[in-house]
Structure 1
Amino acid sequence: MSIQPLPTKRASTSRRRERLIAAAAELFLQHSYDAVTVEMISARAGITGPGLYRHFQNKQALLIAVLEEPTRAVHEAARRIGETTTDPGAAIVEMVESHIRLILQGPPSTLIFTKNEHALPEHDRRRIRREMAMYAEEWISVVTPLRPDLSEPEVRLLTQSVFSMLNTAATLKKGLDEDSFLSTMRQAALHALLGRGSL
């Protein structure tokens, strides 16, 4: 029988931080920022109240992490796909799947941002908006050559509509396992982006 190594202090700290972000994301989606307390977040994460301050300066810093880290991660994934996948058709499939897998991990940051952007300092609000806009541009650059029948404004509208569909669907997935949700939403997104009959 092999002996499993004990988790390092850094790994344990990272897991606690991830639990706090996940708990806060759920609460910030369910309630307004002002209605969510540090005690509520700590209780849901299974961490003592003072423990939160070992990872975040305050509740506002936690909200910024909830919004910024997933947005940065999905943007970096889309950029990597765009740079390494020469076929636009294959690239958009990967981008769709990457987005769906992210929202399966927790509430979509876009929905949380829309509900709580009033609680952000102006410079943080602008930075997060800019990251979201750059992420959308990665999709638009891939969809554009696939849809020569659409103008640039139409491609932008289509892309944003697909984002909205996927993000909203993430809050409605009760009763579906992850594979079923991924398959259903992947098909719906590609059907919309590529045009009926293009799959």
Structure 2
Amino acid sequence: MSTPTRSRGARRAEILEAAARLFAERGFHGVSIEDLGAAVGVSGPALYKHFSGKDALLAEMLLDISSRLHDAAAGLVTSAATPQEALSALLRGHIAFAVREPYLITVHDRELGNVPDPQRRQIRRLQRLYVEEWVTVLTELRPGVPAARLRAATHAVFGLLNSTPHSAGELPSPDAADLLYALSHTALVNIP
């Protein structure tokens, strides 16, 4: 009994991965159900066994990554012994995601407006919670700096980290990760 469930879960993951890459490359409206099916070796209509439609697929994709980022950040902050360790872990976690999955950054940046409203609100809520994990750590590192300033700095650093879709391939991944870490860490520990 568990094999079909795993198979279905693996197929859903395969569809989500292919969709993310296609949406990043061609845009949400530039990809048809048939394109998505072809990318995973099935007919387009076969995708309806897994998702009610293309917008549901996009919503699940962006909810999943927002949830994964938030959950990982909460775990990293909770398990860190010091605020410095927490910041380092947050940076390394986000950088690993950005270097590994730049196409998801592109899809989120371009296509969030195509997600149905209830799911878009959930995604935004998860994103706000993710930012607040960072702000909590920065508050401990930079006491006296207003939260609004820390939040703005966090968003600015996300802009830097999320630039990977534009810079992917320029440097080998480990070098890119080291550079992103050095730049973003320097920016956050020196918030004026």
The alignment's TM-score, normalised by the length of structure 2, stands at 0.87
- Aligned residue pairs total 190
Letter in 1 for 2:97: L
| Residue in 2 that maps onto 1:25 | 20
Gaps in structure 1 of 5+ consecutive residues = 1-6
* 2:15 partner SS: helix
Q: What secondary structure, in the 3-state scheme, does the structure 1 residue paired with 2:168 have?
A: coil
Unaligned runs of 5+ in 2: none
Q: Which amino acid aligns with 2:175?
A: S
Partner of residue 190, structure 1: 185
CA shift for structure 1 position 57 = 1.3
Cα separation, 1, equivalents of 2:3 and 2:182 = 41
From 61, 64, 69, the equivalent of 1:66 is 61
Aligned to 1:123: 118
2:51 to 56, 74, 78: 56
Q: Name the SS for the 1:161 alignment partner.
A: helix
8 Å CA contact 1:26, 1:106 repeated in 2: no
> RMSD in angstroms over aligned alpha carbons?
2.2
Task: Output the amino acid matched with 1:61.
Answer: A
User: What letter corresponds to residue 152 of structure 1 in structure 2?
Assistant: A
Distance 2:68 2:176 in 1: 21
Shift of 1:110: 5.1
Percent identical across equivalent pairs?
29
| 1:109 positional shift | 4.3
TM value normalised by structure 1: 0.84
Give the corresponding residue for 2:92: 97
Counterpart in the other structure of 2:148:
153
1:10 lines up with 2:43 in the alignment: no
Q: Could you say what secondary structure the match of 1:150 adopts?
A: coil
